[in-house]
Structure 1
Amino acid sequence: MSETVERTNVEVLFDPETIAERNRELAAEIVAAKPEKLLVIAVLKGSFVFAADLIRALHGAGLAPEVEFITLSSYRKSTASSGQVTVLRDVETDVRGRDVLLIDDILESGRTLAFAKDLLAARGARRVLVCVLLEKPEKRAVQIHADFVGFTCPDYFVVGYGMDVAHAFRQLPFIGYIPDEGASGTPS
């Protein structure tokens, strides 16, 4: 890790207690949607902490979903989206006839989630629901709606709770922003 990253000041946007409470609320909202044969698919890498906590909250709310992972990228080695989404790691489970809950960290342009939702629908999922930790509505480039949203987020470069910059800060127990970075998205 570079010395610059180590000395970066991170301001708290959402603290651990607020996140935990919102995860319990999201789990209740998901239960109310009455999913059948639920398969949770976490979009890696940025959603892994959120997905783990939400899956445990779903268990506490009475659901027992199966869990899968997919890795998608529209960033590759850049900090700006290329606009083209690539599947780097696909799910192994057949989604036909099942309700799928896609979990991602941030809904910004919407390209990645729209791609994933269309892909799973084309594979025969009964219903594809989208749950995001953060939503930046002003950044949308394609038509997609999140069924469940943790928080609406200002246009900050966010880190923590699984999200990173240069592979740093994923371990933070809160969602923060880097004041020096100004307004921009975050590849996670």
Structure 2
Amino acid sequence: MSNTDVGHSIETIFSAGEILSRLQVLAQEIAAKRPENLLVVPILKGSFVFAADLLRALHAAGIAPEVDFLTLSSYRKSRSSSGQVSILRDLDLDVQQRHVILIDDVLDSGRTLAFAKDLISARGAAKIETCVLLDKRAARAVSIEPDYCAFTCPDVFVVGYGMDVGHRYRELPFVGRLVD
């Protein structure tokens, strides 16, 4: 399936229905571990749609976490990582002795997620897990694997479902790739 937007065709990789079905399964996997004192930390901006839908699925599974946000960037307006991770917005809540689940959109080089995990660890979290929408299984710059993953993704630049290129396409209800 493809959609057209302002001169670009967008090929669907994961449909809205596939995503929502998978999130229900992820929420059940998380709930089965009965996390206590849970703090969910979406890494913005790309994970915001995924995080919102996952939080609703967690609620349906009987989990009521606190939520705070961390804004990190290694891409800026580019399609490739700069290799440097910057904190653009820090957490408001204390993570000390908390079970923290970091939510990210895409795990590729691993730098952003590893940076966030190290940051939360240094601040005294009791347990840190990671949950990603997409694992590209690309050559990682750092050694990290997600605790929870919705989909393994081809190694292509993706947009939609919160992910963008130049601040566009976040609103799409599916994950797709631009076809030039």
Q: TM-score, normalised by structure 2?
A: 0.94
Amino acid at match of 2:175: I
Secondary structure of 1:25's partner? helix
Structure 2: distance between partners of 1:5 and 1:100: 37
Moved more, 140-149 or 80-89: 80-89
CA distance in 2 between partners of 1:111 and 1:5 (Å): 31
- Aligned residue identity for 1:128: I
Q: CA shift at 1:145, angstroms?
A: 1.4
Aligned pairs for 1:1-188 (under 5 A) are: 6-180=6-180
SS of equivalent to 1:9 = strand
SS in 2 for 1:132: strand
For the Cα contact (< 8 Å) 2:136–2:155, is it kept in 1? Answer: yes
Flag structure 1 segments of 5+ consecutive residues without an equivalent.
181-188
* Counterpart AA for 1:92: D
> What one-letter code is carried by the residue in structure 1 that aligns with 2:151?
F
Shift of 1:5: 6.2
Report deviation, 1:138: 2.0
**Paired letter, 1:73:** S
The more displaced of 57-66 and 156-165 is 156-165
Deviation at 1:132, TM superposition (A): 0.2
1:110-156 per-residue CA deviation (whole Å, 9 max, x = no partner) reads: 00100100110110101110000000112311011100000000011
What is the rounded CA distance, in whole Å, between the counterparts of 1:119 and 1:48 in structure 2?
A: 20
Contact 1:156 1:178 in 2 (8 A): no
- Extract unaligned runs of 5+ from structure 2: none
1:178 Cα deviation from its structure 2 partner: 1.3
Note if contact 1:47-1:104 (Cα within 8 Å) is conserved in structure 2: yes
Cα deviations across residues 9-57 of structure 1 (Å, max 9, x unaligned)? 0011111111000000000111122211000000000000000000000
Looking at secondary structure, tell me which structure has more helix per residue: 1
Distance in 1 of aligned mates of 2:85 and 2:7? 33
What is the distance in 2 between the residues matched to 1:124 and 1:53?
28
Supply the distance in 2 between the matched residues of 1:86 and 1:33 (Cα, whole angstroms). Answer: 32
**Number of residue pairs matched by the alignment:** 177
The question of whether the paired residues in 1 share the 8 Å contact of 2:78 and 2:166 is answered with no
Report sequence identity in percent: 61
CA RMSD of aligned residues (A): 1.4
